[in-house]
Amino acid sequence: MNTFEIKITVKKRAAVRALLVSALQNMGISPSDFVITDSQKELAVSLYRATRAECQALVKNISKAFSGQVLINILRHAKKDWSTQWKTGWKPFPLTRSIYVVPLWQERRNIPSGKRPIFLETTSAFGTGLHETTRFTSQLIEFQKGKFQSFFDIGTGSGLLCIVAALNGARKIEAVDIDKDAITVARNNVRANGVSGVRFSATDIKTYKQSTQFDLVAANLITHDLLRLKSKIISYVRPGGRLIISGISLANLKLIKKEFGFLKEIKLMKVTEGKEWSALLFEKKL
Ligand SMILES: C[S@@+](CC[C@H](N)C(=O)[O-])C[C@H]1O[C@@H](n2cnc3c(N)ncnc32)[C@H](O)[C@@H]1O
């Protein structure tokens, strides 16, 4: 399966960001549906769609609105790219204070003493740990060490977060992913790290029927899904338990804080912000 990215690039001028965002909003595209990359020279806005035809229809409208002032490209991201990217030039790297991620085919020799390795293969799933969203979620899981025994991973991808949770004390772990290939990768990764008893389901969290509650729940999803599924996600946290949400670009942080801030049953405990992404830790009130 491919993903198609519409990348709109503009040379930086004052106020261009606000103009672009409001023009896209006027076309019915919400800020939670795009990712903004703001470098010194230029500003890029990316929108993701499942087919090239969907992209072409949108590009037509965007081109009309900006009449040649912006550069628009449609980029195809093949699923296979994950395996190629992962295998070229990746070395063991620190994920949290105590954990190093090590590609499955590499030896353990590069890990500093006292660090624990997670051996990982991500042939088609998101979640190598190199991305800020995964790293921040892993660090927040480690921050909760000693406070949880059960863990629910919503959108598990490579299964990395299940392994991080197990290394930090989780005894009962469940994980779901809408992508059945990701579940296969996650199962293999969990097994390769000697973590047993994880219950995996290839399912959309929207229609997931289980009603068990967990001490700690992590959801690293796109902002749009975090917003539309927030009540469902929170329902899996036991009263007094914790929730980590991630996958939030800095451009969307204000919106997420506002929308989750309205909810009476949870309280914001911690915000992690990086260069482009952020993750939030909440407590569910008793
Ligand atoms: C950004 S990746 C996160 C992977 C991993 N948990 C991590 O933190 O690196 C999001 C994952 O959520 C899955 N996903 C997206 N929407 C979902 C949904 N509605 N229900 C279940 N899984 C979903 C995707 O297939 C993908 O594997």
CATH at 10: 3.30.70.260
Q: Of 78, 112, 138, which residue is a domain's last?
A: 78
Q: Whose CA is nearest to atom 12 of ligand 1?
A: 155
If asked whether residues 36 and 73 sit together in one domain, one would say yes
Q: Whose CA is nearest to atom 4 of ligand 1?
A: 157
Host domain of residue 40: 2-78
CA of 276 to the centre of ligand 1 (A): 19
Lowest mean pLDDT among 7-11, 77-81, 126-130: 77-81
If asked whether residues 184 and 106 sit together in one domain, one would say yes
Q: Which amino acid is at 177?
A: D
For a ligand 1 pocket test, name from 156, 176, 232 the mutation site with the most ligand atoms within 8 angstroms of its C-beta. Answer: 156
If asked whether residues 57 and 105 sit together in one domain, one would say no
CA of 62 to the centre of ligand 1 (A): 28
If asked whether residues 106 and 211 sit together in one domain, one would say yes
pLDDT in tens, 201-222: 999 999 999 889 999 999 999 9
Residue 118 makes CB contacts below 8 A (sequence gap 6+) with 95, 99, 100, 101, 102, 129, 160, 163, 164, 167, 193
Arithmetic mean of pLDDT over the chain? 86
Instruction: State the distance between the two ends of the chain, measured CA to CA, in whole angstroms.
Output: 43
Mean pLDDT on 52-62: 84
| 84 lies in some domain | no
Mean pLDDT on 37-56: 78
From the alpha carbon of 218, which atom of ligand 1 is closest?
Answer: 6
Higher pLDDT residue, 176 or 120?
A: 176
Where would I find the H helices in 27-174? Answer: 52-66, 81-87, 132-143, 160-167
**φ and ψ of 171, to 5 deg:** -110, -30
Position 53 scores a pLDDT of 86
What are the angstrom distances between the C-alpha of 166 and each of 153, 229, 234, 237?
A: 12, 26, 21, 18
Position 32 scores a pLDDT of 64
Taking 90 as the threshold, does the pLDDT of residue 190 lie above it? yes
Task: Compute the distance between CA of residue 213 and CA of residue 211 in angstroms, rounded to an integer.
Answer: 6
Taking 60 as the threshold, does the pLDDT of residue 87 lie above it? no
CATH for 165: 3.40.50.150
CA of 157 to the centre of ligand 1 (A): 5
CA of 127 to the centre of ligand 1 (A): 9
Mean pLDDT on 80-99: 67
CA of 126 to the centre of ligand 1 (A): 8
Q: Whose CA is nearest to atom 19 of ligand 1?
A: 204
CA of 165 to the centre of ligand 1 (A): 16
Position 1 scores a pLDDT of 55
For a ligand 1 pocket test, name from 118, 124, 178 the mutation site with the most ligand atoms within 8 angstroms of its C-beta. Answer: 178
Structure tokens at 18: 């606000």
Position 159 scores a pLDDT of 96
pLDDT in tens, 246-280: 999 999 999 999 999 999 999 999 999 998 899 99
Position 169 scores a pLDDT of 95
Q: How many domains, the chain?
A: 2
CA angle 195, 232, 169 (to 5 degrees): 25
For a ligand 1 pocket test, name from 96, 142, 179, 246 the mutation site with the most ligand atoms within 8 angstroms of its C-beta. Answer: 179
CA of 229 to the centre of ligand 1 (A): 13
Rg (CA), the chain: 20
- What interhelical angle do 180-192 and 160-167 show, nearest 10? 30
Quickly state the pLDDT bin for 153 (edges 50, 70, 90): very high
Structure tokens at 155: 């959108």
Quickly state the pLDDT bin for 7 (edges 50, 70, 90): confident
Taking 60 as the threshold, does the pLDDT of residue 59 lie above it? yes
| 85 lies in some domain | no
